[in-house]
Homo-oligomer: A and B are copies of this chain.
Amino acid sequence: MEDKEPGGSVGIVEPKYFSFDKLVLESGAELSPVTICYETYGKLNESKSNAILICHAFSGDAHAAGFHRGEKKPGWWDMMIGPGKAFDTNRFFVICSNVIGGCAGSTGPSSINPATGRRYALDFPLISIGDMVAAQERLISYLGIDKLFCVAGGSMGGMQTLQWVKAFPERVRSAIPIATCARHSPQQIAFNEVGRQAVMADPNWNHGNYYEAEPPARGLAVARMIGHITYMSDKSMAEKFGRRMKEKSDGFKFAVDFEVEGYLRYRGDSFVRRFDANSYLYITKAMDLFDLAGDRPLHEVFRGKDVRMLVISYKSDWLYPSYQSQEIVRACKVAGMECSYVEIESTYGHDAFLLETERSEKLIKHFLESEYSEVAGYSLK
């Protein structure tokens, strides 16, 4: 306990690594070997029945809560994970892993390709949301967990959550997909595609071979700027920035005039320092190609699955609009699944799943508690 920060923090945490020999991907290609970077918070009980898997969004990583030694910024969902928080580490054992294809410790296009001794770059195979989840399932088995108490995540993390329910229903007791969809609309695909085009338009991208040279920082920054516009709402931008002007530093005609421009440039520039451009391409493509039901009606995916669902969306989220969550809820109901749905009033847009934590915390806490108490004979020692 000596490492714990005040205010319900899990304190100092460290990433761990799990490697396995081979994963056969949905495309038929093989990825070998596979390393998964993950973190855990709280303690796995004796019956290994209190594990919750948190799935991260597009640009997230395994560091969901607590602090890395020497760092002042906590994990990306620290407001939700910790002692007494929504995902209460006094009660639950919380796991978060970096997706394959990513660039934060798990095997991805910037990893060394054993066949060549050099980084994969575009030799990395196309991966899917299904492949990400299949890799997570190996991790869960490695940790000795037969059945997860819950899988939860927002945005792309919500896609993984839905995929868990589809692919491994017997290993999931409950699921919380947040601000997500069963498949991307053309508008969502279009925003991702423009981001990819911005990356690939940067000559430094060099068909993915930039690891020994300058990375495509400008293209990736533009892609990220587009992303950030879609993560906010018209209203939250108006509240945050209005039309406030910045001091022009250099008199350049197309320098930053408005605060919102400075914010976007800052977010774009800071992103390129932590994110790999090829991972940007692979992961956005995995999101676009994700299609939970394919040609089937959506409810058939859920039919006969014994998983309790809590679906959350945010009113001002125009990137993953509520109607997409409502489609999931409708399909669950048609399939006879137990499913609660809440649309949270928020002006934060898609970012709400990271920022509007007060209301979602209560909801999730209550959902997990009621599930615990309702499941007779199920012990959370």
B-contacting residues of A (Cβ < 8 Å)? 122, 126, 183-187, 189-191, 193-194, 196-198, 200-203, 218-219, 221-222, 225-226, 229, 232, 234, 237-238, 240-243, 253-254, 257-261, 264-265, 268, 281, 285, 288-289, 291, 318, 321
Whether A288 touches B222, Cβ cut-off 8 Å, given contacts A190-B237, A229-B190, A238-B185, is no
Instruction: Select which of B203, B241, B291 is within 8 A of A243 by beta carbon.
Output: B291
Q: Kindly list chain B residues whose C-beta atoms are within 8 Å of the C-beta of A237.
A: 185-187, 190
Copies in the complex: 2
Some 17 contacts from A to B, beta carbons below 8 A apart, are A185-B234, A186-B240, A186-B242, A187-B234, A187-B238, A189-B258, A190-B264, A191-B229, A194-B264, A201-B201, A201-B222, A203-B203, A226-B226, A243-B291, A253-B281, A257-B285, A318-B318
Q: Is the CB of A197 within 8 A of B221?
A: yes
Q: Kindly list chain B residues whose C-beta atoms are within 8 Å of the C-beta of A254.
A: 196, 200, 281, 285
Q: Kindly list chain B residues whose C-beta atoms are within 8 Å of the C-beta of A219.
A: 201
Q: Is the CB of A187 within 8 A of B229?
A: yes
Q: Is the CB of A265 within 8 A of B186?
A: no
Q: Kindly list chain B residues whose C-beta atoms are within 8 Å of the C-beta of A185.
A: 234, 237-238
Q: Kindly list chain B residues whose C-beta atoms are within 8 Å of the C-beta of A226.
A: 194, 226
CB distance from A257 to the nearest CB of B (A): 7
Q: Kindly list chain B residues whose C-beta atoms are within 8 Å of the C-beta of A243.
A: 183-184, 186, 189, 291
CA of A222 to CA of B202 in the docked complex: distance in angstroms?
Answer: 11
Q: Kindly list chain B residues whose C-beta atoms are within 8 Å of the C-beta of A268.
A: 197
For A281, give the chain B residue with the smallest CB separation. Answer: B254
For A217, give the chain B residue with the smallest CB separation. Answer: B201
